[in-house]
């Protein structure tokens, strides 16, 4: 089974990106959406990124339109929205699917590494967050209702 650093993705501009670029960092990988009740979490994600990035922390945002058609825009529109509405500076990637037969391999890996309640793997909604340690191990999964700021202690522990 591949490790998290083996995955290739596309950035929000459609360019190839390798998760190997994040080797040795603590990661918070999130499926996002621009028209969701949880969209204000972008502010909390950006705050975490601004606070901890110099210590080796990265937030990786993956827009997804699988839940209530809440990310209908193009990658360009998503990028513009995130930058203008929430001043997002953390890496954003191309729209993906997180569930079903077309689920991105990265999210299949994350779900297997940190299953949800009762061992279910399906992601239930936008803004599900996966915390990954410096060694690339998926250490926890956090649902949409869990605000980014509730992860501070976990992030600080992983940063050492």
Record the pTM.
0.95
32-54 pLDDT tens trace:
999 999 999 999 999 999 999 99
Backbone phi, psi, residue 49, to 5° = -60, -50
Which residue carries 């990124």 as its tokens? Answer: 49
CA distances from 155 to 12, 41, 121, 132, 141 (A): 25, 17, 23, 9, 13
Query: pLDDT at position 148, please?
Result: 97
What radius of gyration do the chain's Cα atoms show? Answer: 14
- Count of domains for the chain: 1
pLDDT at 133 over 80: yes
Which residue carries 């949409």 as its tokens? Answer: 144
Q: Identify whether 36 is a catalytic site residue.
A: yes
Give the pLDDT band of residue 27 (cuts 50, 70, 90). very high
Question: Looking at residues 55-83, what average pLDDT do you find?
Answer: 96
HSE, side-chain direction, 13 A CA sphere, residue 107:
28
Query: pLDDT at position 1, please?
Result: 58
Query: pLDDT at position 56, please?
Result: 98
Domain that holds residue 48: 4-159
Q: Which residue among the candidates 36, 96, 132, 158 is catalytic per the annotation?
A: 36
CATH number at residue 45: 3.40.30.10
pLDDT at 118 over 90: no
- For residue 122, the surrounding DSSP H or E stretch is none
Describe the crossing of helices 41-52 and 75-86 by its angle, rounded to 10 degrees: 70
Query: pLDDT at position 114, please?
Result: 87
């Amino acid at each position: 089974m591949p490790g998290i650093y083996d995955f290739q993705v596309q950035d929000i501009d459609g360019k190839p990106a390798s998760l190997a670029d994040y080797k040795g960092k603590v990661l918070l990988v999130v499926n996002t959406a621009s028209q969701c009740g949880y969209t204000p979490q972008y502010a909390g994600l950006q705050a975490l990124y601004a606070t901890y990035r110099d210590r080796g922390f990265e937030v990786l945002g993956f827009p997804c339109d699988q839940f209530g058609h809440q990310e209908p825009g193009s990658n360009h529109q998503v990028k513009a929205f995130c930058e203008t509405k929430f001043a997002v500076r953390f890496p954003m990637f191309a729209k993906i699917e997180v569930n079903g037969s077309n689920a991105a391999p990265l999210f299949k890996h994350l779900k297997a590494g940190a299953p949800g309640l009762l061992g279910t793997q399906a992601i239930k909604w936008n803004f599900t967050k996966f915390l990954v340690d410096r060694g690339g191990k998926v250490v926890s999964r956090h649902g949409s209702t869990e605000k980014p700021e509730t992860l501070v202690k976990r992030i600080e522990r992983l940063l050492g």
